[in-house]
Structure 1
Amino acid sequence: MKVKKGFSEQAYELATAQHKLELLQAQVTNTAVRKRKAVQINPNTKFANIKDIQKAQVEAGDKEDITDESSEADLPRVVTIGQGFVKTFDQIMVTRFLVGVFDAGLIPGCVFLCSLYYPPTHLQWRLGLITVANICSNIAGNFMAYAIANIKTTNAFSGWRWIFIIEGIFTVVAALLCSVANVGPPEKAKFLTEEEKRVIKNSVETQTTNIGMLAEWRLFFMNPLNYCWGIIYCFTTTTAYSVSIFSPSFVKSFRPGLDATEVQAQIVPIFVVAAVACLTTAYAADRLNHRSAFGLVGFVFTIIGYAILRRDEHENSNVTMMALYFIAFGTYITLPMIWILTMQNLQTPFQRAIGSGQA
């Protein structure tokens, strides 16, 4: 038996046996789960060393290319800075429209990217962290906006302009720092070792096809379940944005005697409770590998909250405040549940990308 110098015959046999064992394990996993694309390596292939085996395993992986567009995260923030310099109503409408266009793919992109790195039993917690990060950004943004709005300059540059400029600059800097990580598909991630890439490949269920992009689109839109997920997510997101954006107006109407600072102080506990509930249920859902029941409980709390808000306005304001707690509690429990259920019911990465965008 011929082996390279410095690589013993015993080590050679061990490496080949290890390769065959890993190949068999991958084939069994693929058959038992979703017929994931098997590693295309000939079991009889001879390798000189273990590094050659690992290289062959990586090269035999899925060839589906998902382009990393992390640099585009700067675009909405650049437009945000531009909003501080507008002079007409038409200009502010155009910049707001562009911010919406560029921001539309941010959360769906995060959800889709997480689905490439984590199996379903570990995904709920990560999506919960994304939701809580969104909650924290809303709280911090409200306080920052209140502080910045009081900035006065001699050239009549209003405080609301500084809100867009300063917050936009902060976010551009953060986006530039994050773009260094070059987060993309696991097989192209620079921060992962070859062993970590192999673990992700074996643990995350993916099924690739050769039917073409148009066929993938057709399969997605012919599935009525995808429309159901989209509708559910649309209504849930509407509730989430209503709570996060209009909570100051709600609190001010419940308690007219409060100033702006006191109103913000009343809002923070609402989102703290929502964040704790979101992470607690996410942890439980991952541990139990069950999500639908948690989502239904969240919807029940949201319905109760809206029912309380429809009562006579002359009732106790404390009860009305409790309604906001119920709505936020239920909404932020349900939102990440819908994300992961949508991802779990889509087979290929391409369909998951479409589904995250539709949702």
Structure 2
Amino acid sequence: MITTSLVFTALIALSAARPHMRRATCPGGQTTANEACCVWFDVLPDVQDLLDNECGEEAHESLRLTFHDAIGFSLKQGQSGGGGADGSIMAFTDDELKDPANDGTDDIIEKQRPVALKHNVTFGDFIQFAGAVAVSQCKAGPHLKFFAGRPNATQAAPFNSVPEPIDDVDTILARMGDAGFSPEEVVALLASHSVAAQDTIDPSIHGSPFDSTPDTFDSQFFVETLLKGTLFPGNGSNPGEVQSAIEGELRLQSDGLLARDPRTACEWQSFITDHQSMITKFENAMLKLSTLGHDQNDLVDCSDVIPAPDGAKLPDASFPPTLSNADVEAACSATPFPTLSTQPGPATSIARVPAS
């Protein structure tokens, strides 16, 4: 039996263990749950300017950078496996950009670094903040949480931390599992590819998107990746690329494999008709990613600084014009592929995201 005095003592100890949280009015007039978050209201407009206030190339690259920085983490290797979301990719750029998996991150790193230095915030905090703000620029996007207080990185992440498009599913799931992610969480993180584009798989077609709506966090990516590939958007097959079903759309080999693997296919297919599940699971997986290498209890919740996305109501996922169930390579044996409508009009052709 637990006595009242013991319960009271436990509550006092729990209260003392928690950091002091004091709601504050910041110098700019904003209110926040913790005064330590006020600096991020100053950072916010500079990040929005960097992103051109749109879900464009800088937003795509900023979201990508959150992953490339944070995934340098290993449960098996411990400290030698990298510090997770610690900003090491920005602090030790010369080392980490030697890893081919980080090709194409140099531009956004060099755009972000001066802003982080201007506001005297750590690179680890800044990278995750910029990624959360970037997502808020996209239509119908998630509202990512942002925790601040990461210390500066002390070492570069090791090579082979970042899964690559050329990797098979076993390799990808093993690497992500070593960072603490389940196969279902891997699929959830890939919702980011609904607002993504490539620069380095085929440099001749800079900015080719992975789905037909690269400024919208919708389920089209999960539909279109399951369609039979018929063409390449550029000069032919490149390492890490397979044929896609839509002119101008680039399909990563790894996306195509994960969409069809029995360990991930049903979760992949489920997002086609459950946009809210996709959003919620992406938010949860991104919180986990953004705090890799840190105790979340040691960080300060500054999520109220992140702008809310527009919350646009999206149409249901559908087949692109001229395509139908006959073009689907369904791989989930447990659940039939959903019945979808086909968009009217001629076959889709996607314009590439312009270079900045």
Q: Could you say which TM-score interval applies, normalised by the shorter chain?
A: under 0.3
TM-score normalised by the chain length of structure 1: 0.27
TM-score normalised by the chain length of structure 2: 0.27
Q: Which protein has the bigger helix share?
A: 1
Choose 1 or 2 for highest CA Rg: 1
